[in-house]
Amino acid sequence: MAMRTGFVSLFSFAILFLILPSPDYLIAHISSIGAAPATASIPKLAAQANTSAKQSLSREFTLDGSKVWTDTGITLEPGQRFVVTATGTLRYSDAKADNGPGGLARGFKDLVRNLPDNESGRGALIASIGDPDVAQPFFLGANKDVVSPISGKLSLGINQSSGDTPTGSYTVKLEVYAADLSTPREIARQATSITGIDNDLFTKIPRRIGDKAGNPGDMVNFLILGNEHAMKKVFTTAGWVHVDADVKSTILLGAIASLEKESYLTMPMSPLYLFGRPQDYGWAHAEPVKVVESRNHLRLWKAPFTVNGQMLWVGAATHDIGFERDQRNNGLTHKIDPDIDLERDYVEKTLSSTGLVAEVTHFLPKDPMQEAKTATGGSFHSDGQVLVLKLSDSATN
């Protein structure tokens, strides 16, 4: 793990010195980098709480330095509010002083530590909601009032690597309140079929996306029914970030963000083509410290036709897991997990938990695609099924 995260840091520094216009530019940005305590925000969870909501339970937990995560045994619903108050200290053997739930001031060593939440300081009190395989950790600190945007189990954690063994503990008081029902939420219904999703539709949708030269690439493995506002809302609620389109400026911002010890998920995706044009949207989930090497990502195209009057988004989702040789030009490119059904299922899990998906189904087109190669020469396999998500009416609000 140290080799992989160290590589990412070196990569960021190398890019920085290759593209910055002058040493003065670098100095100006580095001078703004401080060692302030972590104050990471929770952009997807910062909704104002309904202070009149009725408290449903109150519990207290002790978190010691022997493990990263503690399961609270509490399952939250979308719109449900919880308030955290934490006290206590931890002491890391290589730290100069104790730290509280706000965590240690961030330093350059944090660039090569594999922390659950790379935006927060080491030792900070953090949390996650939902399936551990897909949940995005976020900062709590000593006091936090949070409204859950999704359903799922609540876990409390210490922002440290698995090898950290600090002494001390945190005492965490957790108060949970009834959900704010002012915004309708739905539980995604598993449907046997959705009207309009049939083989006639798939005669209009290419099975694969491709590069600019027309070389076939990733498989089309999911569809979304809903307008543009609803599509963006469901992804942002689930914690996906919109990927920048300007490659040059994005690499620059990514290098600067690394120096400032901020996660930077929006590293650019290469343009790939469907319906004769590059993707309309790119979305990513990633472990921030490994964003250059490993991330869950997808591309979306607005179809040039509708399904029963509804806007249709056609997507291809893959999981970058490393690097490999680009067989088109012998360059270096991302290697995807060849079992692309895992990424399709990842998309389903993250979006379905938001309360903004009405129906979910899987459709097996005629002559399904089950094995092929990407445009860069990597192989992949699938059961051939395409995920279909129909967004709820509340997603349009």
Q: How far apart are the C-alpha atoms of 22 and 33, rounded to whole Å?
A: 18
Query: What band does 327 get if pLDDT is binned at 50, 70 and 90?
Result: low
Query: What band does 254 get if pLDDT is binned at 50, 70 and 90?
Result: very low
**Per-residue pLDDT at 378:** 75
Q: Structural domains in the chain?
A: 37-177 (2.60.120.430), 189-396 (no CATH)
Threshold 0.85, pTM exceeds: no
Residue with tokens 């100006």: 28
Q: How far apart are the C-alpha atoms of 200 and 310, rounded to whole Å?
A: 16
349 within 8 A of 133, measured Cβ to Cβ: yes
Q: Which helix (H) or strand (E) holds 357?
A: strand 357-363
Chain segment 3-15, per-residue pLDDT in tens: 333 334 444 444 3
Beta strands at 152-158 and 167-177: parallel, antiparallel or unpaired: unpaired
Comparison of pLDDT for 109 and 70, the residue scoring more: 70
Query: What band does 269 get if pLDDT is binned at 50, 70 and 90?
Result: confident
Q: How far apart are the C-alpha atoms of 235 and 244, rounded to whole Å?
A: 15
